[in-house]
Amino acid sequence: MTRRISVAGKVAVVTGGASGIGAATAAALAAKGAHVVILDRADSTQAADALPQANGNRHLGLRADVTDSMSLEAAVAAVIDEYGCLDVVVANAGVAEAGTVAVTPIDALARTVEVNLIGVMRTVHATLPHVIDQRGHFLLVSSAAALKNVPGGSAYAASKAGVEWFGGSLRLEVAHKGVSVGVAHPAWIRTPMYEAQDKIDAVREGIQRLPWPFNVVTDVDDCAAAFVAGIENRSRKIYVPAALAAVDKVRGVFTGRLWDIAVGLRASSTVPALEREVSALRATEPA
């Protein structure tokens, strides 16, 4: 049985930790006594300074871009200089953009995969030797989107499904070294990313039409609590909401032919509506 982790006193890196799920997870780890390092493209110094203090922990905010391995390696070197070790990595940084393949620029589709999937690979590669030294833990953030097929999020779903399968293989590669790997499947979480998509009528209506539990919207602090509990227990999978665990066992229902037929009955009207709305929004964006 894999030993449980107490995060108190551990050094934990959270990518994309300046906002959203990353920020809430960083705060939850800090509240339990972890030394938390926020890695983010934005200046994360203030975010790190605002983290809870417990058991003498100290926090650090560093600029890093998960699409740039040199940036990540420099940040990891700074972490080792500051703390001497690295125990936990939460590969959370991600982007999402509503729209179909037809109305989304190819560069935007490719960037979604570059950040969400390749960014996780780069993060793991840069941190792996140090996590091995500590017999530590990785938490890779996938999504409920990896459990089902729906129109309007092809690149996002592909990237998150890739994270799941990458994590599964990684788990087998490092288990004998004492390292554990968890994959998280959050559905809709109240974050700035969710709020931005919820403003698009076609997206909001699409969420409401999804079957339970895919349509559940979870508070970000509840999501963070589930993530931290999963880290402490070295959980193989984390589901937010927890009911997605049952869905995962029968995911073939939500990726099979009958599902295609059921969703396809609405797609002839919902997809054009989404494309019109997204195209209109893009037309108002600065060049």
Mode of pairing for the β-strands spanning 60-63 and 237-240 = unpaired
| Residues 200-256 pLDDT 10s | 777 778 778 888 898 999 999 999 999 999 999 999 999 999 999 999 999 999 999
Mode of pairing for the β-strands spanning 11-15 and 88-91 = parallel
83 noted as active-site residue? no
Nearest to 72 by CA among 17, 111, 15, 23: 15
Q: For the chain, give the percent of residues with pLDDT over 90.
A: 77
Is the CB of residue 263 less than 8 Å from the CB of residue 150? yes
| Residues 85-135 pLDDT 10s | 999 999 999 998 888 999 999 999 999 999 999 999 999 999 999 999 999
Per DSSP, the chain holds a count of helices (H) and strands (E) of 11, 9
Instruction: Check whether 155 has a pLDDT greater than 50.
Output: yes
CA pair distance 243, 50, nearest whole angstrom:
33
Mode of pairing for the β-strands spanning 188-189 and 60-63 = unpaired
**Which residue among 83, 156, 194, 239 is the active-site one?**
156
Query: What's the confidence (pLDDT) of residue 2?
Result: 61
Say whether pTM exceeds 0.85.
Answer: yes
Record the tokens describing residue 28, joined without a space: 């939850």
How many angstroms separate the first and last alpha carbons of the chain? Answer: 55
Lowest mean pLDDT among 1-10, 142-151, 161-170: 1-10
Query: What's the confidence (pLDDT) of residue 1?
Result: 44
**Who's near 63: CB < 8 A, 6+ residues apart?**
39, 40, 41, 42, 43, 44, 71, 75
Instruction: Report in angstroms the alpha-carbon separations of 274 from 12, 207, 269.
Output: 39, 12, 9
CA pair distance 78, 80, nearest whole angstrom:
5
- In the chain, % helix, strand, coil (3-state, to 5) comes to 55, 15, 30
